[in-house]
Structure 1
Amino acid sequence: MDSLESLTRQIAGAKDLDSIVRTMKAMAAANIGQYEIAMESLGDYWTNVSLGLVAYLKNIGLENLDVQPNNETKKTNKSVCAIVFGSDQGFVGQFNDSLSQYVLKSLGTHQGRTEIWTVGVRVPLLLTDMGLTVTKQFDLPNSIKAITALIGSILVQVEENREKGNVDEYYLFHNHLINEGSYEQEKSRLFPLDAKWLQEKGQLKWPTQKQPEVIGDSGKLIRRLIREYLFVTLYKTCTESLASENLSRLNAMQRAEKNIEELLDEIGHTYHRLRQSSIDEELFDVVSGFTALKKEKE
C-alpha cells in the first residue's frame, strides 16, 4: 500500500508532467496556426501555376513538351520514387504508423523498381520494419523558413535522377488536414507532367472566356512554370504534413491532459482517504491514552 510520502511524490510528478503537456499543447496549437496560414497563401498561387501549365500544354500539345530524357523508352514496369513526409518528434499518436501502412499498401502492387525518400527520422524506421528499403533521408524543417532549403535539396535529387533516367514517376505521400480536428493520408503525383498529369488536372478551368496565349520565349516559359510548379507543390505538401503533425500532437496532448487529470483525481482521493485514516488513528490513540490515564487516576 502506498504511503503518504509516496502519494505526495506521485502527485508532484503528475503536476510537473501536466505542466509539460500544457506547454506542448500550446506550442502545437501555435504551430498549426502558422502552417495553416502558409497553406492558405500557397493555395491560390499553386492554382495559378497549375492553370498556367494546363493552358500551355493544351495549346502547344503534349508532344512538344520535353520533360523526359531523350533516351527514354516505354517501359512495362516503370521505376517509381515515393517521397514520404513524416515527423521527427514523438507524441503524435498514429501519425507515422498510419502513413507507413498507407505507403506499404500503395506500393505493394508495384512491379517495377521502387525508391523511397523520407522526410523525418520516424517514418524510415517504420518502413524498414515493414520490409521496405529507404534510399534517401532528408531532415524535417522545424519552421516555415527552413522548408525552402528542404525543397531545394529534394529538387536537386529529382533533377539528377531526371538527367540519368533513373526514375520514371514521382509520388508524394503525406498526411493532410480534412476538417477541424482530423487528418488523413494522401498520395499525389508530382512528376512527370504528361498526358496522365494533364488528365488529373483537367478539372481546372481557365477563369475567363479569353483563351490564354504564350508571349515571349515559350521554352523559357515552360521551364519556369515546371520549376515553380514542382517547388510550390512540394512546399504545399510539406506545410500540410507539418500542420497535420501538430494537429496529431495537439490531440495526443489533449488526451494526455485528460488522463493526467483523472490520475490526479484518483491519487488525490487515495491521499485524502489515507491521510484521514492516519488522523483517525492518531485521534484514537489520543483518546485511548486519555481514557487509560483517567482510569488510573480513578
Structure 2
Amino acid sequence: MPTLENLKTQIGTIDLLQSVVRTMKTLAAVSIRQQEKAIQTLSDYSRTIDMGLAILLNQGAGEIVEQQPVSDGKLGAVIIGSDQGLCGRFNEQVVSFALEMLRDQEPEESRRHTICVGSRAHMYLAESGARVDGVISAPVSVTGIIPAVNSILVTIEQWHTHLGIERVVICSNRLLAGTTCRPEILHLLPLDRDRLRELVSRPWPGTTIPFYTMDRNRLFSLLVRQSLFASLYRVLAESMAGENASRLASMQAAEKNIGERLGELNLRFRDLRQGAITEELLDIVAGFEAMTSEGQK
C-alpha cells in the first residue's frame, strides 16, 4: 500500500504532466490560428496568379497545354505527414490513404516514385514495405512552409528532367471542422485543362486589361510555377492545421485522463492522511487514558 510520501510524489509528477499538456494544448490552438491565417492570406496571391494566367490563356498561351498529350507514364507522389508525434492517427491515416491511392493510380510499383514529407509518415510507409525515394523535413511553423515547398518543387523538376515523370499527385490530411481531418488527393500535374478553361471563361474584374512585355510562353511558365507553389503552400498549411488539430484532440483526451487520475490520487491521499490523523488522535487518547488510570492509583 502506498505511503503518504509516495502519493505526494505521484501527485506532484502528475501535476507537472498536466501543466505540460495544457501548454501543448495552447501551442496547438495558436498554431492552428496561424496556419488558417496563412491560408487566407494565400488566397489573394492565388487569385492574382489566376488572373495573370487568364490573360495569357485568352491570348493563346493555352495552346501549349492543349497540344500536350495526356500522359499515362510514371507517377510521382508526395505524401505529407509530420515530424512530430502526439497527434493521434494523423500519420497512419494519410499513409493508409496514400498506399490505396497509389495502387489505384499506378498498379505497377516500378513506375511509381514517392517522396515523403515528415519522418513519422515515412516510418509508417517503411513499415508497409513501400519504396520511398526521399524524405523532406516537415515544417513545424508557418515560416518553415516555403523551404519545404521549394524542396518539393526541386524534386518534381528532377523527376521531370531525369525520369520523364509528368504525373504528380499530393496526398495529405485536411482539417474539416473542429479537430476532424480527412485525407485528400491533389492532382498537381499535368495541369487541369478544365480549370484552365474555367479561368478563361471568368469575366475580367475591370475595364482595363494589363499588358506585358516578357515573352508570352516564358511568362506563362513562370506563372504556372507560381501556381504550383501556391497549391503546395496551401496543402502544407492545411496539413499543419490538421496535425495541430489532431494534437489538440489528443491533448484534450490526455488532460481528461490526467484529471481523473489526479482526482483518484488526491482522494486516496486525503483518505490516508485522515487515517493517519485518526491513528495519532487515538494514540493520544490512549496515552491520556493510561496516564489518568495511573494517576488514580
TM-score category of the 2 structures, normalised to the smaller one: 0.7 to 0.9
2:126 is the alignment partner of 1:154: no
Alpha-carbon distance between aligned partners in 2 of 1:111 and 1:52, rounded to the nearest angstrom: 37
**Structure 1 unaligned blocks of 5 or more:** none
Alpha-carbon distance between aligned partners in 1 of 2:286 and 2:203, rounded to the nearest angstrom: 93
SS at match of 2:113: strand
Deviations 1:91-131 (CA, angstroms, capped at 9, x unpaired)? 11111111111112212333231111111110000011112
What one-letter code is carried by the residue in structure 1 that aligns with 2:98? V
Deviations 1:63-103 (CA, angstroms, capped at 9, x unpaired)? 533997xxxx8776x32111111111111111111111111
Q: Give the percent of matched residue pairs that are identical in Structure 1 and Structure 2.
A: 34
Alpha-carbon distance between aligned partners in 2 of 1:207 and 1:295, rounded to the nearest angstrom: 107
Aligned residue in 2 for 1:164: 162
Aligned residue in 2 for 1:111: 107
SS at match of 1:60: coil
Alpha-carbon distance between aligned partners in 2 of 1:239 and 1:67, rounded to the nearest angstrom: 33
Aligned residue in 2 for 1:89: 84
Greater helix proportion: 2
Aligned residue in 2 for 1:102: 97
Deviations 1:249-289 (CA, angstroms, capped at 9, x unpaired)? 12222222222111111110010011111111121222222
SS at match of 2:132: coil
Q: TM-score, normalised by structure 2?
A: 0.87
| Alpha carbons of structure 1 residues 203 and 277: separation in structure 2 relative to 1, 3 Å | farther
Aligned residue in 2 for 1:185: 183
**Contact (CA 8 Å) 1:29, 1:246: kept in 2 or not?**
yes
2:140 is the alignment partner of 1:142: yes
Alpha-carbon distance between aligned partners in 2 of 1:35 and 1:207, rounded to the nearest angstrom: 31
Number of residue pairs matched by the alignment: 290
What one-letter code is carried by the residue in structure 2 that aligns with 1:2? P
| Alpha carbons of structure 1 residues 248 and 13: separation in structure 2 relative to 1, 3 Å | same
SS at match of 2:142: coil
Q: TM-score, normalised by structure 1?
A: 0.87
Deviations 1:148-196 (CA, angstroms, capped at 9, x unpaired)? 2222222122112212243231111111121233221111111112xxx
Alpha-carbon distance between aligned partners in 2 of 1:199 and 1:141, rounded to the nearest angstrom: 32
The Cα of 1:212 is off from its aligned counterpart by 7.6
**Structure 2 unaligned blocks of 5 or more:** none
Alpha-carbon distance between aligned partners in 2 of 1:66 and 1:155, rounded to the nearest angstrom: 23
Alpha-carbon distance between aligned partners in 2 of 1:214 and 1:165, rounded to the nearest angstrom: 37
2:15 is the alignment partner of 1:15: yes
| Alpha carbons of structure 1 residues 40 and 90: separation in structure 2 relative to 1, 3 Å | same
The answer to which of 230-239 and 151-160 deviates more is: 151-160
Alpha-carbon distance between aligned partners in 2 of 1:104 and 1:54, rounded to the nearest angstrom: 36
2:118 is the alignment partner of 1:120: yes
Deviations 1:191-242 (CA, angstroms, capped at 9, x unpaired)? 112xxx1235666651448898985532122111111111111111111111
